[in-house]
Amino acid sequence: MGTFDTLLIANRGEIACRIIRTARDLGLRTVAVYSDADAEALHVSMADEAHRVGHAPATDSYLNIDAILAAAKASSAEAIHPGYGFLSENADFARAVEDAGLIFVGPSAEAIEIMGDKAIAKAHMLNASVPCVPGYQGDDQTDATLLSHARDIGVPLMVKAAAGGGGKGMRLVTDVDDLPEALALARTEASAAFGNETLILERAMQNARHIEVQVFADHAGNTIALGERDCSVQRRHQKVIEEAPAPGATPNLRKRMEKAAIAAAQSVGYVGAGTVEFLLDENGEDFYFLEMNTRLQVEHPVTEMVAGLDLVELQIAVAQGKPLPVSQEDVTLSGHAIEVRLYAEDPANGFLPSIGKIHKFETDNTIRIDTGVRYGDEVSPHYDPMLAKLIAYGDTRDEALRALTRSLDNTAVLGVTTNVPFLRDLLDHAEVQNRAATTSFLDDTYPDGPPKTAITSQTIALAAVLLLRSESDAAQAQSLLPDTSLAGFSSDGGLPIPLDLSLDGDLHNLTATGVGTGHITVSGDGWTHNISNDLRIDGLRTTVHHAPDGTGGLFLQTAGHHLHVTRAQPWATTDAASTGALTAPMPGLLVTLNVATGDTVQKGDTLAVLEAMKMQHQLTAAADGVVAALHVETGQQLSKGALILTMEDPT
């Protein structure tokens, strides 16, 4: 505790940027830390100073206590804010910070230790008369003892790792005979994730709601609650939608939960921002202690918006020894706020993370957006794939939902697959609209994830037109058009052009007519659509976001799909030991040959440009290689399938 002028943020991404913004507004000097993967990250550029703390893996960087303390010393930082995740709930880190003579912007190491172990925390809560879910949290961890207590508790029950969270080391058991296997799996996960195999058993609260209370305490012991949040919409114990206040919460319920949360915090001499999580029974009256998060929560913005407070500002004030500026009587909640987490992941493919370069990042400025990425950033495989949080506020819940829905409709992230369409669909779901979602809603509704929706012929036609337009723009930018004055002129009525398209690897054999005119007709297998210059499909408006991929293709987001659109490359296998041959995908004039025999090329390089129907079509390398031979010359008229060049393996 003490005043400080320089704050080091021991984190990355969205939360690091969010802390830097408030610290900067308070006149503090900020220090960022970064791994090799984050050298060009947004939080690095925002801070006044930045220090490398290791290689890309978190264990070598953001979890490296010695490296972070060394960065603090080198930057003359006097305080460290841990953010959330990584070391934020690591008692050893909090203790090491204090031992180094620095201020830890958070609770004491002792409070972190107590609340960080579910078994110890639950025993502590029972002593403090905080209602807890019936279960077992004893020291005897033999299968026989756990099985005996499981029979007393009854099924369904939850097996939980005593240390850590995030759904790791958790198993739902609906038949006591399945318990031995669940115990073995939970121990393995707990050991790998937390280095601690200790388990607890709890009665499974099915059809419950996940309600958490934001608490704050200063060094003088003043402790307040800032209302509750509903985080029931979650997938495998990972929150997806959070809102404040909890829909349907009565003043009496709020008062009882706040009283229990304050008692929980005071029982460990808590200081700073914390969240006490409860499960609310389906009767809407009985609630039970779940755990306490001894840090700032990901979903803290919804509380900020309804309480009118900056929680990071309060954290910094309390860490400097200042008293809380508000009492419990001063706390008023106004309006409603809802937050969704935007992830780089593919919901239709088991929610697998998506990595790559962000080619476009557009959001709606009418709501609050907390993010740590921008156009051109690389989404790394080393860290959590959350890109941003979208937080909408309204005088009523319906207003907040409408604002969030509009924002998602106007959000485009291209280059990586995201959960934007999934989030958008969730907001329209009856359980969400009707305030009826419980913790089992999402897993029950999508046990295998949301189904992959079929790509419509309208989307295929739109993709074809946008790719043709992108190729034309790229050609003109490279001054490849011999005469752009007639680029929109067609004197022959528009002969059909064959167009072999790849949408995320799926091939579509199409024809395009009217290329170079105001309306292009695209035909496929049993269908035909007309696309106008303003991208109306058969006269109907459509919402579409697109961006070039840098290698001749483009990324497209429309109708709930994120697609990578490229030409199906005209490569043919040759008899020789080679990488293949480039052939003409359609009849046309060979405008340019960009390579010569013996040139080394990389995948995606433009090898030649073919002109057909006043459009320039870039033909790119399908793989790295060396040009073995050229079979045509510039200015030659080629028939479809004509051999242009052959390539050899570069090795």
Answer whether 168's CB lies under 8 Å from 185's CB.
Answer: no
Token pair, residue 432, equals 């969400």
CA pair distance 428, 133, nearest whole angstrom:
32
Burial 102-141 (b: 16+ CB within 10 A, else e): bbbbbbbbebbbbbbbbbbbbebbeebebebbebbbeeee
DSSP state of 436: -
Using CA atoms, how far apart are residues 442 and 232, in angstroms rounded to an integer?
A: 9
Residue pair 471/615 in contact by the 8 Å Cβ criterion: yes
Orientation of helix 300-307 relative to helix 311-319, angle to 10°: 90
Which of 209, 229, 295, 567 is the catalytic position?
295
C-beta of residue 169 within 8 angstroms of C-beta of residue 189: yes
Cα distance between residue 577 and residue 439, in whole Å: 57
Instruction: Please state whether beta strands 615-620 and 606-612 pair in parallel, antiparallel, or not at all (unpaired).
Output: antiparallel
Spatial CA neighbour of 197 closest among 161, 233, 166: 161
DSSP letter assigned to residue 537:
B
Alpha-carbon distance 17 to 11, whole Å? Answer: 9
DSSP 540: B
Question: CB pairs under 8 A, 24+ apart, for 442-447?
Answer: 442/233, 442/234, 442/235, 442/240, 443/235, 443/236, 446/235, 446/347
Handedness of CA 295, 33, 370, 445 (dihedral sign): negative
**Token representation of residue 20:** 């830097």
DSSP H or E segment with residue 603: none
Helix, strand, coil shares, percent, the chain, to 5:
30, 30, 40
Q: Where are the beta strands (DSSP E) in 180-266?
A: 199-203, 209-217, 223-235, 238-244
Q: Is the dihedral of CA 241, 202, 138, 259 positive or negative?
A: positive
Chain centroid to CA 5:
32
Strand, helix or coil at 286? coil
How far apart (Å, rounded) are the C-alpha atoms in residues 474 and 178? 61
Q: Does residue 295 have an active-site annotation?
A: yes
Dist CA 337 CA 368 (whole Å): 10
Which amino acids are annotated catalytic? 295
